[in-house]
Chain A
Amino acid sequence: MSEIQAEVKKICQTCGNDRAKMMDIVRAVQQKFGQVSSEAMNLIAKCVGCHRVEVESVVSFYAFLSKKPKGKVVIRLCNDVVDKMAGVDAIAEAFKKELGIDFGRTTPDGKISLEYTPCIGMCDQAPAAIINDEVITYLSTDKVKEIVADIKKHYDPSKLKHRLGDGNNADELVHSCVHNGLRKKGQVIFADYKSEAGLKNALAVSPVEVINVVKTARLRGRGGAGFPTGIKWQFTRAAAGEKKYILCNGDEGEPGTFKDRVILTERADMLFEGMTIAGYAIGAENGILYLRGEYNYLRKLLEKILQNRRDKNLLGKNILGKQGFNFDITIQVGAGAYICGEETALISSCEGLRGDPKTRPPFPAQKGYLECPTAVNNVETLCCVTRILEMGAAWFAESGSKGSPGTKLLSVSGDCKLPGVYELPFGVKVKDLLKDVGAQDAQAVLIGGPSGQIIGQNDYNRTICYDDLATGGAVVVFGPERNMIDIAAQYMEFFVEESCGYCTPCRVGNVLLKKYLDKILAGKGEPEDLDILQKLGESIKLTSRCGMGQTSPNPVLTTLKNFRKNYESKVKKVSDGMQPTFDIRAALADGEAIAKRKSVIFTK
C-alpha cells in the first residue's frame, strides 16, 4: 500500500468512514498532503461509500482545499477593503519580492504558496495574513522580510517568532499575536458575570419555561437577520423528530466583522453555557460549533474549554444532576467560504457537503442538520441567552432600545483612530459612535458589512437597531479621501468570488454589476449605466435564492442612493456615437500580432 493509500484510509477511519464527516476528512488530507489529489478523491469515495465526483464537488467549493498541490506553507494575505486602506498593496509587493513568486503561485521548490483571501476577521489590526493556521497582524514590509526569512529556516509557521496578544491570545494553546481590541465593555457580554448561574436557573425550570424567558426578554438574532430567538426555539422544540440539534454559527465572514473572534477568545464558556441552555430548551442532545477555517487558531483552546466542561459535568450525561438531560458539543471547522454563514449553507457544510444553501421550506427548525429539527444561532445570541437566564428577562428587556433590547457588539475598523470591538446598547446614534471611535470626519460608514448599507453624512443621526440600521456588527468607516465607487466595486468583487453559484441572479448578476462599476471607474460610463445598475441590482435582490444573493447588490444600491453625485460626475454621454468601451487597438492586437504588421486603416 502506498503512503497516500495508507494515510487516506487512516484519516477516513478516524472519521468513522462517515460521509457526513467529509469536511474533516478532506481538511485532514489537505493538511497532510498539501492537496486533495485525484487519487485521494478516489480513495475517500471508496472509504465513505460515495461517488468520486461528490468528493470533488466538496473540495472544489472551499477556498482552503485544492486538487492541485500547494506548498507546505500557505501564506494567505487578507485583501479586504480595510486591509487595502491600511496599505496591503505594499505588503503584497513585499511578499512577491521576498518569495520571488506572484499571487496564486507556489515557489519552485514546492514549499511556499502565496494567495489572497477575503476578510479574515482582523480588520482592527490590518494588514493581516494567515500562514497555515497562524495569524499575523499589523504587517509591514519589514515584517514581511522577517517572516519570509524565518519561515525559510524551518517551513513551520507555528515556530514563527512574534509578540503575544492580550488575554487568552497569550494562552499556550492559542499562542497568537492577535489583540482582542476590546474598546468598550457593555453590561451583557463583557460585564462580570456569574458563570453557570444561567444554566442552573434554566435547569431549575422546564424547557418550555426557558423558551418563555427568552421570548419575554425579546431576544433577537445577533447575526443580522434579527429573528426572535425564542420563537425559533419554540418551532424547533415543537417539530417532530427524535433527534434535534443546536448549531452555533461561528462562521463570522461578513467583511469588517470580528466580534465573535473576541467572544470565542474570551467568552467561550459563556457561549458553551448558552448552547447547553439552548439544547435543554429545544430538546437537543448534540450541539455543533461551526468555526470558520480562519479561526482554527482558537480550536485547541476551545477544545480544552469543552473538556473542562465535561470534567465538571457541565456537558455530558445528567448535566449538573438533572436526570435525563444529556448534552455535548463538537466543533466543525470550515474551510474558507463566506456563504457558510448562511444558516442552511452552514448546515450543508456540517453535513459534509458543498456549502450550498438549502431550499426553504422546509426550514431548519423542521428539517435541518441530517434532516433533523435544528436551531442555528449566532455566537453573540447564545451568549445573550446565558446572561438572560442568569439575570432574568426583565433585566435584559429594559436595556437597549424599544424594539431592540440588550447590547450589540460592534466591530469598528477603517478610517478611525480607535478601531476595535465596542459593546453598546442598541439605539446608539451613528454620530455618537463615530465620536467614540475618533472618526468625526467620516465621509461614509458601512453598517452591517457589504450586505448591509453604506450611508453618508445625512444619515449620521440614525440609530443602530433592528428598526433602523440593522447590523450583524460590522462598522467600517471611510474617510473624506476615499472613492466610494471604488469601495463598492471592491465589495462586489468579494460577492462575485463568494457566490456559491447555485442561482442565476447571484452567480451572474454580481459579475455584471462589477463590470459596470469597472466601466464607470475607467471613465467610460454612460448615464444609462446608472439605470442598468439600479435595475440589475433590484433583480438580484428580488430573485436570488438566499439571504446572501438578496443582499449582495447592496454596496451598489446604497451608494447609488447615498452617493449619487459621485456616480453622476463620473459618467458622460458619448457624442461620437461610438461604444465607449470599444478599444480598436485592443481589438486588433491579436490580428496584428499574427500578421506581424500594423493595421493600415486604424493607424492611431
Chain B
Amino acid sequence: MSDQITFTIDGVSIKGKPGQTILQAADEAGIYIPRLCYHPELAPHGSCRVCTVLVNGKPQAACTQPISEGMTVENDTPELKEHRCNIIDMLFIEGNHFCMFCEKSGNCELQAVAYRLGILAPKFSYLFPKKDVDATHPDIFLDLNRCILCGRCVEASKNVDGKGAFEFVGRSIEKKIAVNAEANLKDTNLAVTDKAADVCPVGTINKKRTAFAVPIGKRLYDKKPIGSEIEERKK
C-alpha cells in the first residue's frame, strides 16, 4: 500500500495518509471544512453533520469518511453552505442560546461557526424547550440549554478519563446528556481536571470561577474567525 493518497477538494489536489479521514487530511492541508462535533483528540461522532461534503457526488460526513485515491470532494459550494446554515439554525432553535450573557461567548464554536457562515439570527422560530441546569458539583456546572449533543464529553469521559460520567438518554428531540448518578453531577466522579470537562464546544460544561478570566473582546474567535488557525497552515 502506498503511503500517500492523492485526492481533490474543490479541484485542489491534496495528499493525505492512509487511514486519515477527509477532515484530517483537509486540516493538514490547510483547508477548512466547517464542523462542530469533531474534536481532533477524540473519536469522531459524526452527529452534527455540519462537515457534510460531497464525495464523488455523494454526501458524506468529512469527519468519518476515510480518504481514498482519486476521490473528488466538494466542500465550499453554495448548496452545501445552505445545508450547513440550515443545520446551524436547527442547533440554535432546539436549545436556548443567549450569546449576550453566555460566559462562553467568543470561545463558543457554535457561535463562531455561525458567524463564519454569515448567520446573524436563525431563520426558523425557536422551540424554547425547558432544559435542566445542574450546579451541584463544586467545580463544574452543567447547562443543558446550550447542549448540541456533540458527544464529546461522553466520549472523553468514557474513553479518555475512563469514568463514563456522561451518557445520552432519551431519543428524538427529547434526547439529552445525563450524568452517571441517580440525580446530580456532584454524585459522579467527574473532576475538573478531566478531559471531559475540557472539550465542550459550547457553554454546557463550564468550570466554575473561570468564566471571565479572559475578557470579552480578547477571546479565541473575537479577532479571527474559526478555521483561520487551519487555513494558516496552507503554504
Contacts and interface: CB of A to CB of B under 8 A. Distances in A.
Interface string B55-85: 0000101001110000000000000001100
B62 to A, nearest CB: 12
A56 B182 CA distance: 10
A38 B178 CA distance: 13
Contacts of B65: 361
Given A56-B178, A354-B168, A539-B82, A508 B173 contact: yes
A337 B86 CA distance: 27
A496 B164 contact: no
B175 interface: yes
B118 interface: no
Contacts of B96: none
Interface stretch (B6-14, B27-35, B44-52): B44-52
B172 interface: yes
Given A508-B173, A512-B124, A515-B125, 4 more contacts: A359-B64, A361-B66, A502-B47, A544-B49
Interface in A569-604: 581
User: Would you list the 7 A-B pairs with minimal beta carbon distance, nearest first?
Assistant: A501-B175, A508-B90, A51-B164, A53-B180, A53-B167, A60-B169, A539-B86
Contacts of A52: 180-182
B186 to A, nearest CB: 15
Interface in A334-353: 337, 339
A545 B148 CA distance: 16
Contact of A54 (B125, B164, B172): B164
Contacts of A497: 172
B47 A503 contact: yes
B144 to A, nearest CB: 14
A508 B91 contact: yes
A549 B173 CA distance: 13
Contacts of B61: 545
A102 B5 CA distance: 61
A484 B90 CA distance: 26
A53 B93 CA distance: 27
Contacts of B180: 51-53
The DSSP consensus for interface residues of chain A is helix
A505 interface: yes
Contact of B167 (A51, A339, A544): A51
A542 B179 contact: no
A327 interface: no
Given A361-B66, A505-B90, A545-B47, A56 B169 contact: yes
Interface string B165-198: 0111111111100111110000000000000000
A56 B171 CA distance: 12
Nearest to B169: A60
Interface size class of B (residues with CB under 8 A): 35 or more
Nearest to A56: B169
B171 A504 contact: no
Contacts of A51: 164, 167, 180
A508 B174 CA distance: 10
Interface in A458-514: 496-505, 507-509, 511-512
Contacts of B148: 504
Contacts of B166: 53
A539 B83 contact: yes
Contacts of A498: 172
B90 to A, nearest CB: 4
B173 A511 contact: yes
Contacts of B216: none
Contacts of B167: 51, 53-54, 56-57
Contact of A501 (B44, B48, B174, B181): B174
A79 B231 CA distance: 52
Contacts of B125: 515, 581
B140 interface: no
B99 interface: no
Contacts of A505: 49, 86-87, 90
A360 B55 CA distance: 14
Interface string A23-60: 00000000000000010001000000011111011001
Interface string A516-543: 0000000000000000000110110011
